[in-house]
Structure 1
């Protein structure tokens, strides 16, 4: 087909943004648009799940409110990484608060666009895997306190084996998390959680990075990891959720933020003596001293590398697989912002996301150059 004919076909398919594409790109766009993604029937999904699992059932939901109610008290795939301590953005205490007090999170730009682009990534995956039937799954797999909500299900046309398909979309700033041959640990835990509840044998993770870079990863079922997830989730449910006892601190930033939020609710300034904390305080002092020494050593090593780069008159260098860039760092011009929008500056901590969006025009280049160590 000619480019003109391809553009006419793209138009007939209701596609947009194709006018400046090359022939090869047009063909890819059209093939992806034509890729088949079927909604799996509840009967087939139930049969595929219950064939290899016990005490699980498949539930549907009529609207988003029903889905939120269904998962409100159950442990889902996105919770498991936090329970295991491998989620850098969420702590086990966040899961505890969500399940016992409810969550007021209604989504943001990232979740909105992730949902919008999910269907596109599903079709792209289907276009690349003619050996698989790709299903949408508008159902939940549940047992007493666990739940799995799959983005998609897969069926191997040759073997008949079923698998999980998980779709991710992420910012270009998170590209480093996906550079290696393995997926981030929290997503790996999520996938094994889904394999545990469905009884499926394999999974794929398809990720769209920065809106224009597609990658995919195959994940095999691991009985050892599934057993760990089952034990930790059961312990958390029985010992924390049922007994309404918050989990102990885990050293995460998220747990510290939780404690700071709780501390803000206290008005009492009376000094009290903490009994039995002498050993912990001494350990804290030692750790603080060691941290300062390590930071000094870290800075010294960076300075030596940076000095050599300056001698060589370069902003980029490599040592084996390690990459070094001398980058200029942006900082907020608070003086200018304070004059023009003092209320916005005052509400910085409470409205951090809104603040970052509205202050992008107040960024200025720092006078300092900082060495950056990449993987």
Structure 2
């Protein structure tokens, strides 16, 4: 396997500390300049502060809290749809110590990984376009870079609506560019 499983529960203080010591999948869009909500500059400041021991009081926002609350049911629906019994996991690349991902669900026996979104905007886009919203593309490719898998399932669900299942294929050219960009970004973090 190109990655190791880190024994952490997502959302607790130890997880936040581990997460701040590298680049996670949700950091990738900001590093790549594709995140409409967080700039590369802001992410760099957050990471440098974390390396300097500045405690983050990260709590997310209401939409993230709602998504986290709905995630177990979304995971159950995904398992019923695909037959993949997935569980959340923290993964760290064996090649790049800073390359990390807190995945919403992974099934090691099937080689399946899923990113779950339970937000109204992501659902509307996925249902209408039958495509992953562009601002999540880097996040998915980052997970594929960590796992080495050929594809990732994007599972969008909002209560009362039909789940949206979109398969995103590995984009080797994007991943090469992303890894170069992320490595340079991480060097900036370490330089402070």
Q: Tell me which interval the TM-score lies in, with the shorter structure as reference length.
A: 0.7 to 0.9
Matches within 5 A, 1:345-364: none
Q: Are 1:112 and 2:65 an aligned pair?
A: yes
The corresponding residue for 1:218 is 167
The corresponding residue for 1:138 is 89
Following TM superposition, by how much is the alpha carbon of 1:177 offset from its aligned partner in structure 2, in angstroms?
3.2
Query: Do 2:29 and 2:138's aligned partners in 1 also have CA atoms closer than 8 Å?
Result: yes
Give the number of equivalent residue pairs.
182
SS in 2 for 1:89: coil
Q: Deviations over 1:197-247 (max 9, x none)?
A: 1111211011124x3332121011121111111111011111x21222xxx
The corresponding residue for 2:43 is 95
Q: Deviations over 1:313-370 (max 9, x none)?
A: xxxxxxxxxxxxxxxxxxxxxxxxxxxxxxxxxxxxxxxxxxxxxxxxxxxxxxxxxx
The corresponding residue for 2:152 is 203
SS in 2 for 1:203: strand
The corresponding residue for 1:79 is 27
**Separation in 1 of the partners of 2:37 and 2:140?**
18
**Separation in 2 of the partners of 1:186 and 1:161?**
27
Q: Deviations over 1:24-49 (max 9, x none)?
A: xxxxxxxxxxxxxxxxxxxxxxxxxx
**Separation in 1 of the partners of 2:76 and 2:9?**
24
Q: Are 1:163 and 2:163 an aligned pair?
A: no
Stretches of structure 1 lacking an aligned partner (at least 5 in a row)? 1-49, 245-375
Query: Do 2:101 and 2:143's aligned partners in 1 also have CA atoms closer than 8 Å?
Result: yes
Query: Do 2:90 and 2:100's aligned partners in 1 also have CA atoms closer than 8 Å?
Result: no
The corresponding residue for 1:59 is 6
The root-mean-square deviation of aligned C-alpha atoms, in Å, is: 2.0
The corresponding residue for 1:127 is 80
**Separation in 2 of the partners of 1:174 and 1:207?**
7
Q: 1:135 to 1:87 in 2, by over 3 A?
A: same
Q: 1:221 to 1:57 in 2, by over 3 A?
A: same
**Separation in 1 of the partners of 2:114 and 2:43?**
24
**Separation in 2 of the partners of 1:105 and 1:232?**
25
